[in-house]
Amino acid sequence: MVPVSSSALTIHHHDMVIVGAGGAGMMAALAASKAGFSVACLSKVFPTSSHTVAAQGGINAALGNMGEDDWRWHMYDTVRGSDWLGDQDAIEYMCRNAARAIANLENIGVAFSRLPSGKLYQRIYGGQSTHFGKGELAYRAISAADRTGHAILHALYGQAVKHQTQFFTEYFALDLIMREDKSVAGVLAWNMAEGTLHVFYAQMVILASGGYSQVYQTNTSSSICTGDGNAMCLRAGIPLQDMEFVQFHPTGIYDSGFLITEAARAEGGYLINSEGERFMQRYAPTYGDLASRDVVARAMATEIAEGRGVGPDKNHLYLCLQHLSAAAIHEKLPTVFETASAFAAVDASKSPIPVSPSAHYTMGGIPTNYRSEVTTNDGTIPGLMAIGEAACVSVHGANRLGCNSLLDLMVFAEGAIQHASSFIKAGVKTDSKPSTITPLLDRFNQIRQGKGNLNAGTMKSSMQRTMQQYAGVFRNRHVLEEGDARLNRLWAELPELAVQDTSLLWNQQLLEVLEMHNLLVQSRVTLYAALAREESRGAHFRQDFPTRNDAEWLCHSLTTMDRHGALSSATRPVRMQPLSKDIEPILPEMRQY
């Protein structure tokens, strides 16, 4: 194998480099291109194959089209949903900009579902209410049937092409190029289709590389959700925030994990156990099946643990839609019908769908402020922003509400570009010393030389099983420590991963090894942070510390990795102060549904 030398690098200069062409990356690319910046948007898959295309149920905004609503109530629900770990300045920013974000999407051609009156249709969704939790459930989620992500991503792509965003498709971003003063100069990337390496210098690098749910065996995410941007930050010495918080969606199809959107319950579906009981009424008397996702997932895990699961092994539950008319299912939930048919061999209009909780969304990620600047306890990192599921703003805190992710993507992507426009000037070239790239190339060449006898696919399965078993819905010190020990063994074996294919052209084996490195480091950080947080909050439930402990743990966790792979943790306070005086801080209270 001939190592790639620095003389073989192709150098690009742009005003902004965006890693990711999902909803977040594409929105940012469009906004930046419209503002006259030269933008390079890198994606390891064709842009419209990004994971956002799979988003189903909707996007929240307090439009009040089907009942009264107010952005302040949306904010209250989001803070409560986050179990008070969300930063209230960022949450205010998101909720009060939601209506504008929807108007923007409509203007670029997203075909949302409508009421006969012509107004946008809105559906109820888990954990969302009116009158600060005291009123009825809120009709807040705007959707395009149950194909909302598809509608948004395709409209954004068409617009980005129109506004001359430069896409670098099937480019795999490897690492951040860091200057000695800890500012970010650009990104090193591998063009998989041509087998070449590229340096992208820019005044601003924006990471929009998505979440990392692929660390779990049963997950609802596409295989590209490997959190590469998160891992790039860890390698650059930047901590990740709140990685202990992983959302398990209540209704993954049993065994395969494919998502049955919460919209199915919003449209009248409900869960039953082996006794035919609608058990959610016991756990959440007011919200029932539409309680917050962490609450429903835990209730399901409890039903299964207590022997009321269905199937030969009593290890899943049923989601019932058969009482809805076939016409309603086909009109409002066509993807649910198709998914149930394809992956559970069930006609959802006639039989219940077998479901169990499935890893769905990663609340943790790259720490940012509400302007999307990457910010640690040492201050803001010049030249680096993060948006979308890769970022931890944090609007979702310890648990994300359904339909708040697509909103987060749109609002913070646009906000990031607005903010960057205030200090970036189009056409100013930047670069860095060659010595900043040498260690990144060395790492890449070393991984390519993998002469061991281990296979990335086998190691990935082993890691996923470990995470599923030892870092799932219920956690305690004993199981977390066992999981940690198993991951550390895998970590020690990483250098043994084999790369027999020496070519750089479509080297699938090399791609899998690179992703495996990224996944494993995030698994380790997730377990490490879960062990450290000795309380239960949102999606993180510790059987040995079953209550929330605001006195000691109303704070974000920050986990850093040194260059030898050793992890260390710190905390930072939750920002409890909203941005404006239009709403008072929402103070912690008991979370009830």
Ligand X SMILES: Cc1cc2nc3c(=O)[nH]c(=O)nc-3n(C[C@H](O)[C@H](O)[C@H](O)COP(=O)(O)OP(=O)(O)OC[C@H]3O[C@@H](n4cnc5c(N)ncnc54)[C@H](O)[C@@H]3O)c2cc1C
Catalytic (active-site) positions? 293
The site for ligand X, by CB under 6 A, has a size of 45
Residue closer to ligand X by CB (options 56, 559) is 56
Hey, which residues does 439 pair with through a beta bridge?
Answer: none
Name the 3-class secondary structure at 216.
Answer: coil
Closest-by-Cβ residue to ligand X is 22
Query: Is the CB of 56 or the CB of 203 nearer to ligand X?
Result: 56
Q: Residues 203-242, buried b or exposed e (16+ Cβ, 10 A)? A: bbbbbbbbbbbbbbbbbbbbebbbbbbbbbbbbbebbbbb
Whole-number minimum distance, CB 361 to ligand X, in Å? Answer: 6
Q: Of residues 228, 244, 414, 512, which one binds ligand X by CB under 6 A?
A: 228
Quote the CA–CA distance of 198 and 427 in Å, as a whole number. Answer: 20
Closest distance of CB 409 from ligand X, Å: 5
Site for ligand X in 146-165 (CB under 6 A): 148-149
Per CB under 6 A, the segment of 167-175, 288-296, 481-489, 550-558 that binds ligand X is 167-175
Restricting to residues 90-149, name those near ligand X by CB under 6 A.
148-149
In the complex with ligand X, the residue whose CB is nearer, 317 or 391, is: 391
Give the shortest CB-172-to-ligand X separation in angstroms.
5
Check binding of 335 to ligand X (CB under 6 A).
no
Judged by CB, which is closer to ligand X: 59, or 85? 59
Among 14, 51, 524, 591, binds ligand X (CB under 6 A): 51
**CB 352 within 8 Å of CB 319:** yes
List binders of ligand X among 489-518 (CB under 6 A).
Answer: none
- For ligand X, the binding residues in 383-402 under the rule CB under 6 A are 388-390
- Report cis status (omega within 30 of 0) of the bond before 394: yes
Residue 215's nearest CA partner among 393, 488, 459 is: 459
Supply 502's token pair: 């020496």
Q: Calculate the dihedral angle through the C-alpha atoms of 290, 294, 300, 304, rounding to the nearest 10 degrees.
A: 180
Q: How far is the CB of 551 from ligand X (least distance, A)?
A: 32
Output the smallest distance, CB 120 to ligand X, in A.
Answer: 15
Contact 230, 175 (CB under 8 A): no
Out of 12, 13, 14, 44, the residue judged to bind ligand X by CB under 6 A: 44
Handedness of CA 38, 440, 394, 215 (dihedral sign): positive
List 17, 28, 31, 42, residue binding ligand X (CB under 6 A): 42
Q: Taking contact as CB under 6 A, which single stretch among the options 73-81, 83-91, 170-178, 500-508 is the one that binds ligand X? A: 170-178
- The C-alpha angle 421, 424, 426, rounded to 5 degrees, equals 95
Q: Does 58 bind ligand X (CB under 6 A)?
A: yes
Q: What is the DSSP string of 354-415?
A: EEEEEEEEE--BEEB-TT-EEEETTEEEEEEEE-GGGEE-SSSTTSPPTTHHHHHHHHHHHH
Alpha helix segments (H runs only) across 197-290: 228-235, 263-266, 280-283
| The only residue of 35, 99, 224, 511 in contact with ligand X, by rule CB under 6 A | 224
Pick the piece of the chain touching ligand X (CB under 6 A) from 207-215, 326-334, 433-441, 474-482: 207-215
Which CB atom, from 216 or from 528, has the smaller least distance to ligand X? 216
Dist CA 578 CA 397 (whole Å): 15
Q: Are 102 and 62 in contact (CB under 8 A)?
A: no
The reply to whether 52 sits near ligand X by the rule CB under 6 A is yes
Binders in 245-304 for ligand X, by CB under 6 A: 259
Residues 407 to 436: which contact ligand X by CB under 6 A? Answer: 409
Q: Which stretch binds ligand X (CB under 6 A): 89-97, 114-122, 169-177, 485-493?
A: 169-177
- Counted residue by residue, the chain has a size of 593
Least distance (Å) between residue 207 CB and ligand X: 9
Candidates 29, 32, 40, 56: give the one binding ligand X (CB under 6 A): 56
The nearer residue to ligand X, 260 or 317, going by C-beta atoms, is 260
User: With helix as H, strand as E and coil as C, how does 55-85 read?
Assistant: CCCCEECCCCCCCCCCHHHHHHHHHHHCCCC
Nearest to 42, CA basis, from 66, 67, 16, 79: 16
Angle at 176 between CA 175 and CA 178, to 5 degrees: 135
- The answer to whether 558 and 241 have CB atoms below 8 angstroms apart is yes
In whole angstroms, the minimum distance from the beta carbon of 151 to ligand X comes to: 11
- Give the whole-angstrom CA distance, residue 217 versus residue 219: 6
Q: By CB under 6 A, tell whether 186 contacts ligand X.
A: no
Stretch that binds ligand X, among 36-44, 456-464, 483-491, 559-567 (CB under 6 A): 36-44
Site for ligand X in 13-32 (CB under 6 A): 19-25
Which of the residues 346 through 385 are near ligand X (CB under 6 A)? 360-361
Q: How far is the CB of 274 from ligand X (least distance, A)?
A: 27
Determine the residue type at 114. R
Question: Based on CB atoms, which residue is closest to ligand X, 95 or 531?
Answer: 95
Residue type, 185: A
Q: Measured from the CB atom, is 235 or 548 closer to ligand X? A: 235
Asked if residues 477 and 531 have their Cβ atoms less than 8 Å apart, the reply is: yes
Q: Report in angstroms how near the CB of residue 102 gets to ligand X at its nearest.
A: 12
Phi-psi region of 232 (alpha: psi -120 to 50; beta: other; left: phi over 0): alpha
Of 29, 40, 54, 301, the one binding ligand X (CB under 6 A) is: 54
Minimum Å gap between C-beta 275 and ligand X is 30
- Of 310, 348, 316, 324, nearest in space to 250 by CA: 316
Query: Which positions touch ligand X (CB under 6 A)?
Result: 19-25, 42-45, 50-52, 54-59, 148-149, 171-173, 208-211, 220-221, 224-225, 228, 259, 360-361, 388-390, 403-406, 409
